[in-house]
Amino acid sequence: MTSPAKRLNTRRPFHVTPQGLKRIILGEIGAAGTLQHFAAHHETAPKPLRLTQAPTNHILVIAHTDRGGFDAQAQQAIAAAALLARADAAVAVLVLGSLTDDLTTLGADSIFVAPDCESGLFNPDLELAIATDIIGKLNPLHILLPDNAIGDGDLGRRLAARLGADAAAHVVELKADALATHWQGGATLARRTLPRILLLDPETTDTALAFRGVGETLDYAAAETPASAYAHLGTPAIDTAKLALEEADFIVSAGNGVTDVPTLQAVADAFGAAVGASRVAVDDGKFARDKQIGATGKTVTANVYLAIGISGAVQHLQGIRACRHVIAINTDASAPIAKRADLTIVDDAQQIMEQLLHATRGRNFTAADQEA
């Protein structure tokens, strides 16, 4: 029996447009298009360049790197500059410190690297000399810096004072033509048009861009080191294990998959790391409540987060959003943490911890000791 209802051929012919859209041409007869092509298109399509003409002016971002990379706040400042830039403006980035990261996804067009200005060093006169030199050459419309305590907030204020430029600090909201900051301890919101120098607080900008930058690294001959009134006397080593979790740079964190807490503590000591835990591990009584990381625990900003036996529930991942390098040890390769982690080791936590301890045990001995 055939039904009188009109039936559609589910394998109607179609073709794929350059934008990756599947289009059905009514009335056309032919073979079905290749779905494979359709799927592959989206993964590889590179974002278009933002800058398509020779730039006539610049927006400059100045920020310190830490071990070759920018932190989230500095990345937001670069993305903000890319969003502010008109079609004829290039985004220039002055990198204080070494650089290994790719900045094109953040919209950087030209990049100047000053490797002698690592963020831990105190060298305000040299940094000011380099910055004013670049500003003199580019004459940028706006200068953006992250308002942080690793040197960019300090340099931005020095620049504003030296150039006598209009400046806005602690910017909490940014638009194409206006900004806002808090006055009176947060009771008042003050708005104004964009000044020359902007110091941006964290989380002002979404770094997801629809375009990419040219990312050309330009040669930059560093200015003469000026005679300086300042002397850097050193940064004392600190006992990282005693730091609060929020301040720690390296965190070893335990979840339900960790049964051997003393070994975990030993691993943390070997790396000079602070100890954190997932909620389940805390609820089990293995760790104190103040070690819990996640939505109902602490939000951490460590550079390295070693997640041992943690499945990576969303509530936990919320707490480690700002962590730069996440390494997971888990028996389950499909645990959600593997999607967040930069490196996932699939194995039993206890065994890997033992091996890590074994591999790091020799580090306090000199080579001669080991040979003996």
Residues 272-331 that bind ligand FAD (CB under 6 A): 278-281, 292-297, 309-311, 313, 315-316, 319, 329-331
Question: Within 244-263, which residues bind another protein (CB under 8 A)?
Answer: 244, 247-250
Of residues 300, 305, 299, 278, the one with CA closest to residue 289 = 278
Question: Within 135-154, which residues bind ligand FAD (CB under 6 A)?
Answer: none
Amino acid at 44: T
Tell me how far, at minimum, the Cβ of 304 lies from ligand FAD, in Å. 18
Q: Both tokens of residue 241?
A: 């294990």
Q: Which residues have a Cβ under 8 Å from the Cβ of 232 and sit 6 or more positions away?
A: 121, 122, 123
Contact partner, 332, from another protein, ligand FAD, none, Cβ < 5-8 Å per class:
ligand FAD
Contact partner, 297, from ligand FAD, another protein, none, Cβ < 5-8 Å per class:
ligand FAD
Question: Measured between alpha carbons, how far is 186 from 346 in angstroms, rounded to an integer?
Answer: 47
Contact partner, 327, from ligand FAD, another protein, none, Cβ < 5-8 Å per class:
another protein
Task: Confirm or reject binding of residue 119 to ligand FAD (CB under 6 A).
Answer: no
Compute how many other C-beta atoms are within 10 angstroms of the C-beta atom of residue 101: 14
Contact pick of 205, 253, 278, 292 for another protein (by CB under 8 A): 205
Contact pick of 248, 257, 300, 305 for ligand FAD (by CB under 6 A): 257
Of residues 37, 32, 26, the one with CA closest to residue 13 = 32
Nearest to another protein of 31, 117 (CB atom): 117
Reduced to 3 states, what is the DSSP secondary structure of residue 163? helix
Question: Measured between alpha carbons, how far is 42 from 60 in angstroms, rounded to an integer?
Answer: 32
Binding mask 53-92 for another protein (x = CB under 8 A): --------------xx-----------x--x---------
The conformation of residue 47, written as its DSSP 8-state character, comes to P
Strand pairing category for 325-330 and 197-200: unpaired
Contact partner, 168, from ligand FAD, another protein, none, Cβ < 5-8 Å per class:
another protein
Contact pick of 194, 335, 341, 353 for ligand FAD (by CB under 6 A): 335
Q: Both tokens of residue 353?
A: 């911890």
Residue ranges of E strands in 25-136: 57-64, 89-96, 110-114
The maximal CA–CA distance of the chain, rounded, in angstroms, is 97
Nearest to ligand FAD of 155, 293 (CB atom): 293
Contact positions vs ligand FAD (CB under 6 A): 255-257, 278-281, 292-297, 309-311, 313, 315-316, 319, 329-332, 335, 348-349
